[in-house]
A and B are shown apart, each in its own frame.
Chain A
């Protein structure tokens, strides 16, 4: 069964360092998303991406965040200068189109020290 894959599963970094989280969405999907979940809190929308550009972003997705689809398969989230409060589980998701559901990857846990 097709699945969304994410790497790394866990990353520990120092405050101020740059982090890149990688995702491979399901191959025939057209819409891509990043969500985050701080421990004990709800799953929060960060950004959606379609047709090689950001289609919507939340207030959380400030200038420190960027996304890119560098080739036909990968979808990345970059955090330029990490802060302690960026510590969270980051989920990548993809969707085929229409009103279809989002399929989530297993997540990348980011710990900022």
Chain B
């Protein structure tokens, strides 16, 4: 089983729609979760962090966490063409106290004008 699983996509949505990105993880000890955005050829850029079960909203972005199901998601409302990128799910390694993040393969999002 992969440590972090994401559907690689591409996920294609029209401009203005809601994009839903999903992630499952295997390490039950993970307590902190991060979503990064990566444009082609660029470095990962933090979008959201979430630490507690439930929803966390920040502007057009909502992260959802369910630790019992080992599931974390990211919703992007009113999707814009500039949101077209790869979205990386990154739990903090639960068994590690070094703060390292374990990245999923990423979901490529395409927002069509």
Residues of A at the B interface (CB closer than 8 Å) are 31, 33, 35, 41-45, 48, 50, 55-56, 91, 95, 99-107
Contact = CB atoms under 8 A, between A and B. Distances in A.
13 contacts: A42-B103, A42-B105, A43-B88, A43-B103, A44-B103, A45-B100, A55-B98, A56-B98, A99-B31, A99-B32, A104-B43, A104-B45, A106-B43
A91 B102 contact: no
B60 interface: no
B96 interface: yes
A45 B31 contact: no
Contacts of A45: 100-103
Interface string B29-45: 00110100010001111
A105 B45 CA distance: 9
A48 B99 contact: yes
Question: What are the 6 tightest A-B residue pairs by CB atom distance, in nearest-first order?
Answer: A48-B98, A43-B103, A104-B43, A56-B98, A55-B98, A99-B32
Contacts of A35: 103
B54 to A, nearest CB: 17
Given A42-B105, A43-B88, A101-B34, A91 B99 contact: no
A33 B105 CA distance: 19
B48 to A, nearest CB: 9
Interface in B72-113: 88, 92, 96-106
A102 to B, nearest CB: 6
Contact of A106 (B42, B97, B105): B42
B43 A105 contact: yes
B63 to A, nearest CB: 13
A42 B8 CA distance: 11
